[in-house]
Amino acid sequence: MTAERASRLGPVLALQSSGAAQRLYPVSVGLALARLRADRLWRQSAPRAHALASMDLLVGRTSRAPALEQLARAYLLELCRHEELAWRLDVVTRLPVHHVERLRAQLDRGRGVIVSVVHQGHFGAHPACVARHVPVTTLIASKLLGEQPRTPAGVRRQQLHRTFAHSPDVTLLGAQGSFDAVRSLLSEGGVAWVACDLKGSTPVRFLGRTVLVPSGTARLSLLTGAAVLPLSISPDGHLERLEVQEPLLPEDHDSPEALLQAVFDRHEPAVLAWPQGYEQPLTHLEVRADPPPDPLADAREERAT
């Protein structure tokens, strides 16, 4: 960015990063503007192609594939709503959390807890919602810590950081190199907030595809005895319903791979029910190409029998 452009953008970025513009009009107006923006994006080839590819990744090999175009258009609307409501921290950080007693029960037994999440809905606000009940340590991308915005995209990232940090009962921890710190936290009976749907090297089946994800959730659970409680997100008007699922216990699984697959099996129904609420799946999920079908497989099976 040139110095001249940075100078021109300075006042705009200051206004955006303060959230002052959003406070000039009610939420209902912001949501109406979000719909208009989503309609405009749908008429543009690049955003439309991005939305279609995003929804194809999530539902293309599922029973919801016939609704791909409808879901893609709804996906753009959810993105625009998400961006608008990210500035309404008093709204998105006070969503009710259902079945939080499941989390408390594990803590009362002396177990650490891993709250397992995917990037769905206003995911940056969800730790603050749960932290109204129990303190939470949240792993976030290290680049979000201390970033000074220089572009509109940088402003959005800064606001995401503010959203994560909105509650005094949320402790932020840079994800890079955090394994030992999280292991200590869980061993001491703490709560770690971990996104499982990032790019990694461990294969799991998810939404009809093989995706490569980090193994940290399962390894930490098996090392520390921590329970894994997936958090399901579903739409509730223009906001969301958060539900703590039943715990997955490490002693019930033979390997990190088995536990990790169980985590994704728990997340899949909520994602399939509301795929348009998933934040940037093309960025977060790494899909491994399945091998092509073997045309001689049936013949070999017949000879074997």
Taking only the tens place, the pLDDT of each residue in 179-207 is 999 999 999 999 999 999 999 999 999 99
230 found inside a domain: yes
Tokens matching residue 175: 């994800």
Q: Which residue has the higher pLDDT, 22 or 109?
A: 109
302 found inside a domain: no
Q: What is the pLDDT of residues 9-54, one digit of tens each?
A: 444 444 444 556 666 778 888 899 999 999 999 999 999 999 999 9
304 found inside a domain: no
pLDDT more than 90, % of the chain: 66
What average pLDDT does the structure give for the chain?
87
- The 3-state DSSP class for residue 275 equals helix
303 found inside a domain: no
Integer Cα distance of 45 and 181 in angstroms: 45
User: Residue 202 belongs to what domain range?
Assistant: 3-288
Identify the burial level of 105 via C-beta atoms within 10 angstroms of its C-beta, where 0-12 means exposed, 13-18 middle and 19 or more buried.
middle
CB atoms under 10 Å from CB of 194, counted, come to 22
Q: What is the arithmetic mean of pLDDT over 104-120?
A: 97
Dump the DSSP string for 169-203. TEEEEESTT-HHHHHHHHHTT-EEEEE--S--SEE
Q: What is the pLDDT of residues 127-162, one digit of tens each?
A: 999 999 999 999 887 776 666 666 666 666 666 667
| Number of H-type helices and E-type strands within the chain | 13, 10
224 found inside a domain: yes
- The 3-state DSSP class for residue 8 equals helix
pTM of the model: 0.86
296 found inside a domain: no
**Gyration radius of the chain's alpha carbons:** 21
Q: How many domains does the chain have?
A: 1
299 found inside a domain: no
Dump the DSSP string for 50-72. HHHHHHHHHHTTSTTGGGHHHHH
Q: Which pLDDT score is estimated for 164?
A: 74
Q: Which residue has the higher pLDDT, 217 or 294?
A: 217
Place of tokens 């594939």: 65
Integer Cα distance of 101 and 109 in angstroms: 12
